[in-house]
Structure 1
Amino acid sequence: MKMIPFLVMGMVVLNSCEGELDDLGSQLVEAGASEGVDKMFGIVAYNINNNDTIQTDASRIDSVRIGAFDEPVFGSQKVSYITQLRLNTYNPDFGVNPVVDSVVLTLKPRYATATDSITTTTNEDYIYPEGSVAAKKVVTTYPVSKYGKYKIGGQKTPLTIKVNEVNDFLGASTDKVISNKAIAVGAEIGSKNFNGTINSVKITKDSDNSDIIPEITPSLRVNLDKDFFQNKIIAKKGDQVLKDAASFIRYFKGISISVSDSDGYLFSMRPNDAAITIYYKNDVTANNVVTRTKAETALSLGSGNAHISKIVYNRPASYVAAMSAAGTPNDVSGDQLLYTQGMGGAGFGIKIPASIIVQLKNQYKNEKIGIVSAKIRVYNDDVTWNNSYRKPTSMLVIEKGEKGFLPDMSELNGTGYSLIRTANLSTKDAYYDIGITASLKKIIQDETYDVTKAKEFFVNLGTYSSDASTGLLLGQNYNNRAYTPNRIVLKGTDQTKIGQELNATSKAAQLRLIYTKK
């Protein structure tokens, strides 16, 4: 019998109120409620200047971006990846008379796998050069996943990958590093013209269809200066600098991977997937016969090394002006536009005015209202941000003064609750709903809450990280904000309507409520 009013309420609200109810709604309804009410209130939304910096050491970047991108609203952005490298084997023996043939840096960017994105080229008459073996060569080409400009001037956007030696000691992988840290970069030791695609290669013998070489997985291979590695590594055989890791990372301090271009796109890869292989020949004597023999040694760029993402911005005047006003007093009157960007760019604050909280607390006490749904909605600004760049799909939200997740996330984790609900992301009319039902419930039902205080939330772009085995979120500080490339301009505060009810057509930042009353 107690469930009947809940069912009736649900049917009434679903049919009479705009918007979706969230999963917590049924827990907040007073028994016997029958009338559903849908209201929108103007709130304060303001920019938060993150000073174009963010922590980007190995503890924060399980993915890294490389590239350059320029657009008129947020300005230009260049991202390089800096990493230590270590010998796979210390105090190595390169044999007699070792001479480097080639050195290859292998990167594995993330790429699209949709069937219509892939092209395959088959050469049935391929001759494998070692032994002139008749073979078949199959090359499969994948487009790298990009954020930015796929084309410039009607042509595929080119990038030039640059690899430089690093001149500064990078410290330990556990050291905290900020994205704008000055790191001295030395001589260029390699480069490659990159067309935005990567290949896998498979070569099989015609005679028995067996593999001549193991299949090469999709990767970007950059040839490095063989003379540099001859002198830096091979010629140092027996030297103390090759005998242990501590000596080596102070001798060969690291490499920087960047682009020489000023505009194009950003691509991503897992830092632990990168590697350097040195191919060389040495003299091998058998039966008094000396033979030049192939050999190779590898340098590890994986875990255990310091990994750093270095991000450089050049901002336009409109963005600089918006950020110079960020903070107080704009957290009182709000900003009309919210400039929101990952990778150290700006976030925004949301403040529910004390007047709204007082009104709801009075209604809860006197009218026995039950909050079914509470959400903050922010709209894309269709004038400033009217383009085809991919819009963000998620956000990070924290209550002012708290360290953990919103109460909604903690109480409903694993029930299908979504912190952010999106709509129309492929259009200029995109909007984002942030679910705060439990947060608001706690306020209006807490008799000790100071009603003179507004309720405040801080929002940044990014996605929370989860445990690979359980799927559970790891915590507020575990997220991809340091390398999410997205940006968007949102509509902010209607300064004439702060704390007041809004009409249904308003696209100002707003608190949207569905509640029941007897």
Structure 2
Amino acid sequence: MNLYKGILKITTVFVVIFLLASCDEDFSTIGGEIIENPAGVQLREYDVNAYTVDLKSVQTNVAFSSGQSVQNLKLLGVYNHPVFGQKTANVLSQVRLGTTSPEFPEGAVLDSVILNLPYFSTEVVEDGETEYELDSIYGSGGFRLSIRESRYFLNNLDPSEDFERAQKYYSDQQSLFEQFLTDDNIYVNENFVPSPNRIRFIGENDEGEADTTYTAPALRVNLNKDYFQQKIMDKEGSAELSSMSNFYDYFRGLMFKAEPRGNTGNMILFDFSRSDAGIKLYYSYEDETENDEGETIAEKAIDSLGIRFGANIVNTFEGEYPAELQENIGSNSENLYLEGGEGMIGVIELFNDGDLEDLKSENLIVNEANLEFYINKDLMNGATTPKRLYLYDINNNSVLVDYGDLNSRSNDPLNARTIFSSLPETNESTGETKYTLRITQHVINLIENGTTNVRLGVVITSNIEQLANVSVRESTPELSGDNNLEMVPASSTITPEGVVFYGSNASNEDTRLKLRVYYTATDL
């Protein structure tokens, strides 16, 4: 029979490709009359058990692998989501000296200290003019931004694990870090709003002529010069600047703190690991040189010392969900809530034991199996919808077998893995928008290969190609059984977007979350 199934799968798959688009109208659900069709492909719909889990504490000091490079992505700002309420994201970062034991020329004067954090942006040239469109910025209002020194030591290795494992820091530790902040601000802006304007530099070219150059938009501001004079320049020749380990202990970090201004705000995704991200101390001094006549003259020279952000950077989140939303956490309710950041995930439990055993006993060939998530637009309050969803195995903290479909891969991150996880699709006649997650091979393995029917987690993702997981320290509710919620995809923690889907108890059966299984029956 297995050989027969294998042959039949090959012969039916070509027909299925052309006919699946009309299957929704051709077949009824279980318990109804099954309408015959030329391909013999039939449809069954199964209810699933789905509920929302609130992530109270999730690890955030992780970096992301991106090809040959590493990105240290963190959110900063205040975001007012129409559904999930107001959330604040702060950043605590290590800092490292660009050069240990720096030496400054005699008489050097610190002129300015500049922080540079580039935005994600796209260059657009119109009519010969270069402009930029900012990306990964959520909201359009302002927030209070301040930067202060932190005296909390961020360990790279966990002392409770005999320094054999990386130290984990979590999204709910802001109150702990606050206790170690110095009193004075290094920088403060009462109403910070990111600007799409490019950065202009006025200098000289190689011929000594005045020259203007530009770089992409960035959070580029002046920091407190007196602070860095005392912290760095006055420490020339000291033990504190003599090695990186000494410097980490001396200058333990910077806290980027966001505070709301009423109901406005914006939240920005930064990559703190970029080569042009960091702080520069610009200083000037008199440099003696010889002119063409052999005379010694003094000219003003300018140089700089760089301070980069360290590898250990923590995102913290603060905010409360509206009361009506909290009532849906953990329940098998009419709606399923997903949010990034510290956020919310959905837990999906496929099949009851009876349905799965019935499928195993029948002679069926599964052609396709989908989970379909319909957006509840009435509850979205005009919020933008996320670009992608990601489904994973909660029990084993791993990808599903369907994720690896070769046809899902793409050089374009937005369109990658669309066979596994579709882009949002809107029905022009009904106006309903849905996401389709295909789990065909996963269902086949449950039926034919005796694979364990694990819990599945569904999250919003900002990059479906990113597979790193981060630890969950606390969630509500805690999952029962031996397989607790231990990990979530790291890519879900770097977006503040949220979405509301019709859940497994939705009153409208057409939009209710369900598993749709297309199959071919055999007589063997």
Task: Please state which band the TM-score falls in when normalised by the shorter chain.
Answer: 0.7 to 0.9
Cα distance, 1:336 vs. partner? 1.6
| 2: CA distance, partners of 1:405 / 1:113 | 35
**Residue 110 (structure 1) shift:** 0.6
Contact 1:465 1:479 in 2 (8 A): no
CA distance in 2, matches of 1:79, 1:345: 12
Q: Distance in 2 between matches of 1:146 and 1:312?
A: 20
2:170 to 164, 169, 178: 178
d(CA) in 2 for partners of 1:8 and 1:339?
37
Q: Structure 1 residue 463: deviation in Å?
A: 4.8
CA distance 1:45–1:145, shift in 2 (3 Å): same
Question: Within 2, Cα distance between the matches of 1:239 and 1:205?
Answer: 35
Residue 298 (str. 1) matches residue 293 (str. 2): no
TM-score norm. by structure 2 comes to 0.75
Aligned identity (percent) is: 20
Match of 1:84 in 2: 94
Partner Cα distance (1:149, 1:260) in 2: 14
For the residues of structure 1 that align with 2:491 and 2:122, how far apart are their CA atoms?
20
Partner SS state of residue 250, structure 1 = helix
Deviation at 1:106, TM superposition (A): 0.8
Aligned partner (choices 399, 402, 408) of residue 396 of structure 2? 402
Paired with 2:424 and 2:334, the residues of 1 have a C-alpha distance of 21
Is the contact made by 1:161 and 1:194 (CA closer than 8 Å) also made in structure 2? no
Aligned-pair CA distance for 1:206: 12
Q: Which moved more, 1:107-116 or 1:162-171?
A: 107-116
TM-superposed deviation, 1:13: 3.8
Deviations 1:385-431 (A, max 9, x none): 131x3312222322343232212224657676622113336997321
Q: How does 1:253-268 map to 2 (within 5 A)?
A: 253-262=252-261, 263-268=264-269
Match in the other structure for 2:44: 39
**Distance in 2 between residues matched to 1:93 and 1:449, nearest whole Å:** 64
Q: What is the root-mean-square deviation in Å for CA atoms of aligned residues?
A: 3.7
**Superposed CA offset, 1:252-294 (max 9, x none):** 2221223343432212221112111111223445689784733
Q: Which amino acid aligns with 1:314?
A: E
Other-structure match for 1:144: 134
CA distance in 1, matches of 2:90, 2:181: 11
Structure 2 regions of 5+ residues with no counterpart? 27-37, 65-70, 158-165, 410-416, 471-488
Cα distance in structure 1, aligned partners of 2:407 and 2:467: 12
What pairs with 1:158-173 in structure 2 (closer than 5 Å)? 158-172=142-156
The answer on whether the counterparts of 2:148 and 2:254 sit within 8 Å (CA) in structure 1 is yes
Question: What is the aligned counterpart of 1:49 among 33, 54, 58?
Answer: 54
Once the two structures are TM-superposed, the CA of residue 185 in structure 1 deviates from its matched residue by 2.6
Q: Which position in structure 2 is the counterpart of 1:433?
A: 436
Match of 1:513 in 2: 517
Which stretches in structure 1 are left out of the alignment for 5+ residues?
A: 21-32, 121-139, 151-156, 467-472, 497-502
- Amino acid aligned to 1:97: G
The correspondence of residues 61-460 of structure 1 with structure 2, limited to 5 A, is 62-115=72-125, 120=129, 140-150=130-140, 157-172=141-156, 174-181=166-173, 182-183=176-177, 184-186=180-182, 187-192=184-189, 193-201=192-200, 212=211, 215-262=214-261, 263-273=264-274, 274-284=277-287, 291=298, 293-302=300-309, 304-323=310-329, 326=330, 330=331, 334-354=332-352, 355-362=354-361, 364=362, 368-387=363-382, 389-410=383-404, 412=406, 418-424=419-425, 429-446=432-449, 456-460=455-459
How many residue pairs align between the two structures?
449
TM-fit CA distance, 1:179: 1.6
Is the contact between residue 160 and residue 194 of structure 1 (CA under 8 Å) also seen in structure 2?
Answer: no
The structure-2 alpha-carbon separation of the partners of 1:238 and 1:15, relative to structure 1 and needing over 3 Å to count, comes to closer
Q: Deviations over 1:326-347 (max 9, x none)?
A: 2xxx4xxx22211111112110
| SS class of match (1:86) | strand
> Could you tell me how far apart the structure 1 residues matched to 2:371 and 2:155 are?
43
State how far apart, in whole Å, the 2-side matches of 1:357 and 1:109 are.
Answer: 49
AA in 2 matched with 1:306: N
Partner of 1:133: none
Q: Distance in 2 between matches of 1:266 and 1:158?
A: 9
Q: Is the 8 A contact 1:159 1:195 kept in 2?
A: no
Return 412-421 or 215-224, whichever deviates more.
412-421
